[in-house]
Amino acid sequence: MPQLKVHFRKPADWAEPILIHYWDKQPAGGDTDWPGVPMAPVPGQPGWYRFVFPDTTRVRLVFNDGQGRQSADLARERDGWFSFDTHWQDQPAAAEQVAADPPPDPPAAPPPTAPPPAPAIFSDEPRAIEARTDFREETIYFLLTARFNDGDPSNNFFCRDRIRFDDQGNAIDPHWRGDFKGLIQRLGYIRDLGFTAIWITPPVENRSGLDYHGYHAYDWTRIDPRLESPDATYQDLIDAAHALDIKIIQDVVINHSCQFGIRGKVHIDHLPIKYYVPQGSEQGQVNHGPYQGNLGNYTWPNRDDIDNPVAPDWWQARHASDPEGIEPLVDPKTGETVPKPGYRPGRFFGIDPQDLDPEWYHQDGFIAGGDWESPHPLQQRHIAGDCIDLATERQNVKDYIIGSINRYLDMGVDALRIDTVKHIDRDNLLEYVNAWKAHKPGLFVFGENLVKGYGWGDLGGGDNGPSQIRPWWYTRLGHDPQDPNAGGDSGFAQLDFGLFSTFRDSLSRGTFEGTGQVLSMDWIYGDVTRLVTFLQNHDVGPDNDFKYRFKGETWMAAAAYNLIWTARGIPCLYFGEEIEFMKGAPQDVEGEKDTLDTTGRAYFGDHLTDERIGETQSHPLYKHIQRLNLIRRNVPALQKAAMTQVAEWGSGMAFIRDLSEGGSEQGSYAIVGLAIGSDQRVDIGKVRPGVYRDAVTGGEIASNGHLTFHVKANSAGIWVLDGPGKIGDDGPFLR
């Protein structure tokens, strides 16, 4: 009966006992729960540990110490000895000798008489937009359009909630401040930073008391007029971006509408807000910045919030009259008369789920407590009073939303980002995604499935939610929550919240420790190279409370970007990160009186004025990200290859990005070493032989299968086989 023995040499900084996690054992099957089972010390071989697999010809495994340190995802078909210095060896003596004193690389073979020239850098500029058919070539700049740059003050608008006042009581900093005109004016800024795609928040018409961000849709068929100008429409933005070879990613909400329904389709019962009178006040006495007299829309003569033609007749009559909200109106639901101080705020601002139209909405109430980790309530109940859960499984809802977004795809939108993914059943959501892909072949679509952990679901890792609401599930087609390989790639990429969630305990503390663990689970995704990676966004930051913009030291942020730009996936930067904008501020309003200027959603345009843009572009992180974008653009392996031989030891990481296909040695091939906090020595074996050049320093090494190099603190080594050499100029972090 065959048996397989594996040995592992414990690094000095690992805890004990040493554990082995294994799966896919052949031919007998069987696997362990993470983090695995203990290995036995090898007598006479200090630091070495052994594990014996009976009746086994092949097994996949991970060595770890149960404290966050681990090897990459490994496989073995015969006895072997593994250490981070030498990787797999067939004999213990060789492994021990190398582990104690790694030999220098053997001398390189003599070069041919006429060596081929090193490949040239492709370009400082991106390729033409029509030539970039694989979205993995892009890097993404994410912005809240209404908070980025104001090009047309005439379309500015104050929401009812969170108005900022100056010392004289004047309303300042309108929520809807940035617009398409302002974005068009600063497309060159984003292009200079090196980004080739811009993700904008949902541009469709919105309605709620705080709707500047676009996630409270009222009419999917119209662009919100607070974003457009006569000479800067949505079509103008798309065309201007394309003229600079920049792609546009449109954010799409499928899960919910605003609390007022959908214009022309469905009405949600409310009383007109112009009849609302706060307790202790009188009608006509409201004094709230631009909202004078009442809280109805101050820019509309009729002072309503909506103009829904399917609203009932009594609403339509008041829509066209009584802007002051003083004529008595009988509430058809209760028979009471308004305006009336303190009368039922819910009749103006809330909903009754039982009164919703079941043709368009679910009627199961609001999410509460443990509902947030259970599929049925997540996907059948309402997120909040201004996020009303649509019956996304109904054909009328599908037809409306799919048809509406098709129009924007026809206008030239290049990709879609889908909001609140886990709030829609996967198979139902894929009906929408696949319909858009059929309408525009080659369309890239990715989703947001917020996870405050690794997001492995039923696969373990301390997850408290099932796989059916986790990111990996939406990238797959199978229906076994414990077997990602039960189904192939769904073609629906996700934001990489799993990798993001490691940053709270790693990058936020100036270490890579634990990052290798989540990367060892890359196999669970349909196509891990299409995940969208990030450090923070408009909802969450990487610190332990998940509420704040990254507040670590600048060198920590630089090291984070080194990882994100060299690891698998498509990097995404949230606007302002390039200058540590609003560092440490809450990502969104927290306290009852917070206004946007105190948050990570503060207005950014003050840093983009002609007077200040030079200062903005001289920030060390701006220069750092600019160079990372340039390097990634010129090394295809960094764009599209999976990661192999991943090693992580807290202060450093190393891995290979191999884009060769079918064993061919003609593809792009890069060896990456990262250092955080201190200089690091990187030693990696079993690499392809040849001449390597570092894109960071310009150094050159000839290797016969082993590569050793040094990386300065918070920098990176990006050694490219037959590479072009140094790409870009040294900065304080990449040097």
Listed range (169-173, 319-323, 396-400) with the worst mean pLDDT: 319-323
Tell me, what's the pLDDT at 118? 41
Task: Identify the band that residue 663 occupies on the pLDDT scale cut at 50, 70 and 90.
Answer: very low
The closest of 151, 155, 156 to 175, measured between CA atoms, is 156
Check residue 561 and report its DSSP letter. H
Cβ–Cβ under 8 Å, residues 570 and 534: no
pLDDT tens, residue by residue, 294-312: 999 999 999 999 999 999 9
- Round the average pLDDT of the chain to a whole number and report it: 92
Cβ–Cβ under 8 Å, residues 559 and 676: yes
pLDDT tens, residue by residue, 557-582: 999 999 999 999 999 999 999 999 99
Using CA atoms, how far residue 453 sits from 416, 417, 463, 497, 530, in Å, is 25, 21, 7, 8, 20
Looking at the chain, which residues constitute the CATH 2.60.40.10 domain(s)? 3-100
Task: Identify the band that residue 54 occupies on the pLDDT scale cut at 50, 70 and 90.
Answer: confident
Using CA atoms, how far residue 206 sits from 148, 260, 705, in Å, is 18, 10, 58
Tell me, what's the pLDDT at 666? 56
At the fourth CATH level, the homologous superfamily of domain 106-255+396-735 is Glycosidases (3.20.20.80)
Would you say residue 664 has pLDDT above 90?
no
Cβ–Cβ under 8 Å, residues 159 and 207: no
| Distance (Å, whole) CA 42 – CA 83 | 14
**Structural element, H or E, at residue 632:** helix 620-634
Would you say residue 128 has pLDDT above 80?
yes
pLDDT tens, residue by residue, 456-467: 999 988 888 999
| Distance (Å, whole) CA 235 – CA 226 | 15
CA angle at 30 for the pair 27 and 33, rounded to the nearest 5°:
155
| Distance (Å, whole) CA 603 – CA 646 | 40
- E-strand ranges in 114-186 read 140-143, 164-165, 171-172
Task: Identify the band that residue 34 occupies on the pLDDT scale cut at 50, 70 and 90.
Answer: confident
Structure-model confidence comparison of residues 73 and 401, the more confident one:
401
Question: Which tokens hold the place of 476?
Answer: 């797959």
Would you say residue 684 has pLDDT above 60?
yes
The closest of 238, 134, 246, 247 to 192, measured between CA atoms, is 246
CA angle at 364 for the pair 358 and 367, rounded to the nearest 5°:
135
Tell me, what's the pLDDT at 322? 95
pLDDT tens, residue by residue, 623-654: 999 999 999 999 999 999 999 999 999 999 99
Distance, C-alpha 223 to centroid of its chain:
24
Cα maximum dimension of the chain: 97
pLDDT tens, residue by residue, 191-232: 999 999 999 999 999 999 999 999 999 999 999 999 999 999
Would you say residue 121 has pLDDT above 70?
no
Residues facing 418 on adjacent strands: 252, 447
Tell me, what's the pLDDT at 69? 76
Q: What is the pLDDT averaged over residues 239-246?
A: 98
CATH architecture of 3-100: Sandwich (2.60)
H helices of 230-389, where? 234-243, 313-319, 346-349, 375-380
Check residue 109 and report its DSSP letter. P
Tell me, what's the pLDDT at 661? 66
Q: What is the pLDDT averaged over residues 362-386?
A: 94
Would you say residue 104 has pLDDT above 50?
no
- E-strand ranges in 48-152 read 48-54, 56-64, 74-76, 80-83, 87-89, 140-143
Q: What is the pLDDT averaged over residues 66-87?
A: 80
pLDDT tens, residue by residue, 254-304: 999 999 999 999 999 999 999 999 999 999 999 999 999 999 999 999 999
| Distance (Å, whole) CA 628 – CA 728 | 9
The closest of 693, 684, 699 to 649, measured between CA atoms, is 684
The closest of 33, 89, 24 to 60, measured between CA atoms, is 24
Using CA atoms, how far residue 508 sits from 399, 501, 668, in Å, is 44, 11, 32
Cβ–Cβ under 8 Å, residues 7 and 61: no
pLDDT tens, residue by residue, 436-445: 999 999 999 9
Tell me, what's the pLDDT at 282? 92
Residues 6+ apart with CB under 8 A from 436: 402, 405, 406, 409, 416, 443, 445
Predicted TM-score (pTM) of the model is 0.84
Q: What is the pLDDT averaged over residues 36-41?
A: 90
Looking at the chain, which residues constitute the CATH 3.20.20.80 domain(s)? 106-255+396-735
Question: How many other CB atoms sit within 10 Å of the CB of residue 479?
Answer: 12
